[in-house]
Amino acid sequence: MKLLDFHIDLAELDIAMPGEWPSAAKALCFVLVAATVLALGYLVSIVDKKAELLRVERREEDLQGEFAASRAMAAGLANLRARDAEASAALAEMIERLPLETEVPALVEDITRAAMDNDLAIDGIDLGDERQAGFYRELPIAIGVVGDYHDLGAFASVIASLPRLVTMHDFDLAPRSGPRNLSLTIEARTYRYAPAMHDPSPPAGSGPESTLPPLE
């Protein structure tokens, strides 16, 4: 059959009576319908597979993020435990340096001796009111001494290196006349372990295990 005749035959086909079409026209129509169905099925399948692939890729990214976070947490756990142990040791050392209430007179005596050893004249050493602060109590001690610059510096160094914990605050250095040409007033603060308001001393066996919760 020539191509021209084939086109003429297609133009003469009656859509309402496909049963009377020539065999070639029926075969061609079947092939076109089958190809169309297969193409649509393939496209639908590809769309579904692409959507599933996108879901799997997103899930994979989520799992990779969770794995990276878990790995970082596991790697940091050892460091956290080491830092916790260091903090516990530091707390235990600090508690050991906190004087008991009965040791405050001895601490005042140490401050007086430090002033005398560094050729300072004492204007006054006055105990303030004790204050509760967390698991410890804080006692301010107002100290007034006079001397030269180097002796005052040596005195402050001695106070800072006392075996019991003493911190210094509110420095006030002023000139004065006389051989000791400077006056120094400071507030020294000493501390004692007292987790309860009326507990005068730490309980037996107190230490970092009793004050810091362990890491799980």
Question: Tens of pLDDT along 33-50?
Answer: 778 877 777 777 776 777
| Side chain identity, residue 181 | N
Residue-level pLDDT at 102: 57
Domain boundary at 36, 69, 97, which? 97
Read off the amino acid at residue 90.
A
First to last CA, the chain: 88
**Does 23 lie in the same domain as 72?**
yes
Q: Checking DSSP bridges between strand 182-193 and strand 136-147, what pairing results, if any?
A: antiparallel
The total number of structural domains that make up the chain: 2
Higher-scoring residue by pLDDT: 21, 124: 124
Q: Which domain holds residue 71?
A: 1-97
pLDDT score of 66: 83
User: What's the rounded Cα separation, in Å, for the pair 82 and 64?
Assistant: 28
Unique residue bearing structure tokens 């994979």:
60
pLDDT at 208: 39
131 part of a folded domain: yes
Same domain, 80 and 138: no
Q: Are residues 73 and 115 in the same domain?
A: no
| Residue 216 counted as domain residue | no
> Does the pLDDT of residue 194 top 50, yes or no?
yes
Say which residue, 10 or 167, is predicted with more confidence: 167
Q: Residue 26, SS3?
A: helix
Instruction: Supply the pLDDT for residue 178.
Output: 76
- Within this chain, do residues 93 and 113 fall inside the same structural domain, yes or no? no
State the angle between helix axes of 149-160 and 104-117 in degrees (0 to 180), rounded to the nearest 10.
150
Q: Is residue 205 part of a domain?
A: yes
Task: Say whether pLDDT at 28 is over 60.
Answer: yes
Instruction: Give 106-159 pLDDT, tens digit per residue.
Output: 888 999 999 999 999 988 999 989 888 877 888 899 999 999 989 998 998 898
Among 97, 125, 151, identify where a domain stops.
Answer: 97
Same structural domain, 90 and 184 = no
CATH (domain of 109):
3.30.70.60
pLDDT in tens, 159-179: 888 887 788 898 898 988 877
The helix/strand count (H/E) of the chain reads as 5, 5
**Would residue 32 count as lying in a domain?**
yes
If asked whether residues 170 and 198 sit together in one domain, one would say: yes
Contact 49, 41 (CB under 8 A): no
Q: Are residues 118 and 71 in the same domain?
A: no
Task: Calculate the average pLDDT of the chain.
Answer: 76
Residue of 18 and 145 predicted with greater confidence? 145
Same domain, 117 and 154: yes
Residues 88 and 212 sit within 8 Å (Cβ to Cβ): yes
Give pLDDT, residue 114: 92
CA torsion 87→91→93→98, rounded to 10°? 160
Task: Name the more confident of 128 and 51.
Answer: 128
Locate 195 and state its tokens. 């987790």
